[in-house]
Structure 1
Amino acid sequence: MQYVSTRGGMAPSNFSDVLLEGLAPDGGLVVPVEIPTVDAATIESWRELTYPQLATEVIGLYWTDIPREDLAELCQAAYGDQFNADDVVPLTPIDQMAALVDLSQGPTLAFKDMAMQFLGEALPYVLKQRDQTLNILGATSGDTGSAAEYAFRSKPNIGVFMLSPKGRMSQFQRAQMYTLTDDNIHNIVIDGVFDDAQNLVKELNGDLDFKAKHSLGTVNSINLGRLIAQSVYYFWAWLRVTTGIPADQREGFSVSFAVPSGNFGNVFSGQLARQMGLPIDTLVLATNENNVLDEFFRSGKYEPRSAANTLATSSPSMDISKASNLERFIYLVLGQDAQALAQAWEQLDSNGTLDLSEHQPRFQQEFGMVSGTSTHEDRVATIRATYEKSKVVIDPHTADGVTVARGYQKPNQPMLVLETAKPEKFTDIVNEALGFEPELLPEYAKLLELGQHTVELGTEAQALREYIALHYV
């Protein structure tokens, strides 16, 4: 299996190479030359597998330059005791035809653990094989940072430099990240919004001399390894929800997924699963008030907003107005034509707008993609209604997913909503909706009492370069 850049400026590489690289050298995103496919019989043969075994099968279709027994060991280590549920990803019904895919059983109580725990095993494996070091440079709007830091804390030959927007995360999210004291963890608070932090990551990754000298890589969702690891739970959920269907009726039985979306990585993982052959009818992309992606899928026009126009909302992990992973989807829409993609991005860079309205009907017809917007009032109402109906408490991002999913449910077709995080991480809005706060387990409550360790920087790239140069491994 070989990988190239969406913009055509990277020689074909293997999975181990792109796992370390993150962003392609030409500024594009890494994609497989050809998305692997599986038939219905193969998917059915996976039904009795454990989650680590299923991850081995799915990831193994992409990571072909590793011995299969080594990959199996990495997956077993990634999805082991650090997850609270015995089966790693349970499904929780919220009505007769809708269920939550519970992706928040990991150590940081957010879906980001599903991929990050895998990378926490895979990256050290590759580095040891090659006798190399890696300095992870990332940006977070909330959950990616803590998931990365918990996956890589005290790992040999790895440093983590995580950028986060000042004052834009919940109290618990800040406590999870900023209380870590491991020598290889560096929390850098940027005086701006998530998009400012993300732009810094892209700028330093685009400085190839600096990147090479300081061995920079990334585990943001621009890292293809994360997206492939995330595609596993789409297969897992389909296999679980179809268990009660007679075997002779399972083939081709389609379900829909609703996905709260910020940087477009989670929903693109679903698109990968769909392209691979999983019977997904519709991928419902849910945004909050920062609804650039909803506008794009409805009109075909992509108009990222400035930092000043990116709102601070009660689902803060989705407060993103420039979705990095959208480039991978547009690459598919343009027929995997790197030249056409590069021209499209030149258009976006020159006038701030990318007009693909001629392709918009294909978004649903060919790729099964639809979208919708949820507001603070929607979140509050949905948290309340879900609890009253099912006694399940959901977080605000998941509430965005449930809200938008309601407009796309079809008779006799399951709608699976990807849970984003545990509600304990967002107590204010849960209290507003339900009149009580979900109780933190004692080990998590203690985090709120610990001292926090951060470095504050502005949005200038040079200051970040200087800090990394002093602290990289």
Structure 2
Amino acid sequence: MDIIVLLPLGRCSKIQELQMTTVIEDNVHVFGVEGDSDELDEPIKDVFADVVFAKKHNLMSLNSINWSRILVQMAHYFFAYFQCAPSMDVCPLPLVEVVVPTGAAGNLAAGCVAQQMGLPIHLATVVNHNDIIHRTVQQGDFSFSGNTSPTLASAMDIQVPYNMERVFWLLSGSDSGLIRALMEQFDSTKKQCVPKELLAKISETISSQSASDEDIIQTMQRCWEENHYLLCPHSAIAVCYHYKRSACEQPSLPRCCLAPASAAKFPDVVLQAQLVPEIPADIRALEHMKTQCTPLRRGDDWTQVLRKKIEDLSQERKGGMSSQG
């Protein structure tokens, strides 16, 4: 197996970058892309859109382009429900709200699948300043709003949340024709107004909120002061929703906030919140390890570079098997 990694240079924390670039085994090939997460997703989508090419080289994606990633995350919702439901001895079962910090909306799609299976949860999706999903839920405005803004929650700096196609499909009653037309228009114009019937279903199923960098810092500080729990900036976006809703709701549903990462990956943000980073020794050791990373610069044809790398690796594998034979 060969592994190809694309990381957005300067768009993730130093530790996140080191976790990828210090893997120097011969079968791991790391590319540093001079672009944001939306931009580096494009060559990946292009490669997988060529079905003949993908089958020929036995390609598989490990991000949420791959449906199996959604299915794995779906299990989190059942686990969370069993932890948070006040009772399992009543009928109907009580409702639990699950707060999902959202970038490409893969985890949100997993929650929608769990709902469709009958799990009694209400979903709340929370984003950073890149708020296309928030605008979609609130107004039906599924539109690109310009350049992606860097925030403290860098993994959520996304304006093309491709898993919303799955959310739309699930909540439209599996209306493939409608969703195909909607997504084709979005792909060509980066603008789309969600139909009223679908928006009504989305609003009924999902709540939303947008959090600023200031919200992230204040939430990290408050959670540490009240609970001595160190949040990562992405987890803080979910807890920010909880704090704001708790202040104005009496009483509220049982609520679970999904925490997608460790604060150890974001020491700079922890320091910005005037807290003390907790960095394990194996993470600190990354700073002293050898790294390897091939740049993908602006102006390069990233799709062509990726295709050539895949073809070269396949050829090497075939050559190796022939010589062994």
Q: TM-score, normalised on structure 1? A: 0.62
Query: What residue is the counterpart of 1:32 in the other structure?
Result: none
* Offset, 1:357: 4.5
Query: What residue is the counterpart of 2:214 in the other structure?
Result: 377
Contact map agreement 1:299 1:357 (CA 8 A) in 2: no
Query: What residue is the counterpart of 1:471 in the other structure?
Result: 313
CA–CA separation in structure 2 for the residues paired with 1:388 and 1:170 = 25
Query: What residue is the counterpart of 1:29 in the other structure?
Result: none
Q: Which of residues 42, 49, 57 in structure 2 aligns to 1:199?
A: 42
Whether 2:291 is the aligned partner of 1:448: answer no
Count of residues paired in the alignment: 308
CA–CA separation in structure 1 for the residues paired with 2:219 and 2:149 = 21
CA–CA separation in structure 1 for the residues paired with 2:203 and 2:242 = 15
* Offset, 1:305: 4.4
Query: What residue is the counterpart of 2:321 in the other structure?
Result: none
Q: Which of residues 416, 423, 433 in structure 1 aligns to 2:256?
A: 416
Whether 2:108 is the aligned partner of 1:267: answer yes
Task: Give the letter for the 2:228 counterpart.
Answer: K
CA–CA separation in structure 1 for the residues paired with 2:262 and 2:61 = 25
* Offset, 1:439: 2.5
CA–CA separation in structure 2 for the residues paired with 1:185 and 1:322 = 27
Query: What residue is the counterpart of 2:320 in the other structure?
Result: none
CA deviations on 1:420-458 (whole Å, 9 max, x unpaired) are 11111101111111342x222212210121121111123
CA–CA separation in structure 1 for the residues paired with 2:233 and 2:257 = 13
CA pair 250-439 structure 1, distance change in 2 beyond 3 A: farther
Query: Which runs of 5 or more residues in structure 2 are unaligned?
Result: 318-325
Q: TM-score, normalised on structure 2? A: 0.89
CA–CA separation in structure 2 for the residues paired with 1:332 and 1:301 = 18
CA pair 421-415 structure 1, distance change in 2 beyond 3 A: same
CA deviations on 1:207-242 (whole Å, 9 max, x unpaired) are 233323322221211211111111111111111223
CA–CA separation in structure 1 for the residues paired with 2:114 and 2:171 = 16
CA pair 179-350 structure 1, distance change in 2 beyond 3 A: closer
Q: Matched residues, percent identical?
A: 29
Task: Give the letter for the 2:258 counterpart.
Answer: L
Query: What residue is the counterpart of 1:214 in the other structure?
Result: 57
Whether 2:23 is the aligned partner of 1:180: answer yes
Task: Give the letter for the 2:212 counterpart.
Answer: T
* Offset, 1:276: 0.8
CA root-mean-square deviation: 1.7
Matches within 5 A, 1:400-415: 400-409=237-246, 410=249, 411-415=251-255
Query: What residue is the counterpart of 1:18 in the other structure?
Result: none
Other structure's SS at 1:163 match: strand
Task: Give the letter for the 1:354 counterpart.
Answer: Q
CA pair 462-390 structure 1, distance change in 2 beyond 3 A: same
Higher relative contact order, structure no. (Cα contacts within 8 Å, ≥ 6 residues apart): 2
Which range moved further: 333-342 or 165-174?
Answer: 333-342
Query: What residue is the counterpart of 1:237 in the other structure?
Result: 80
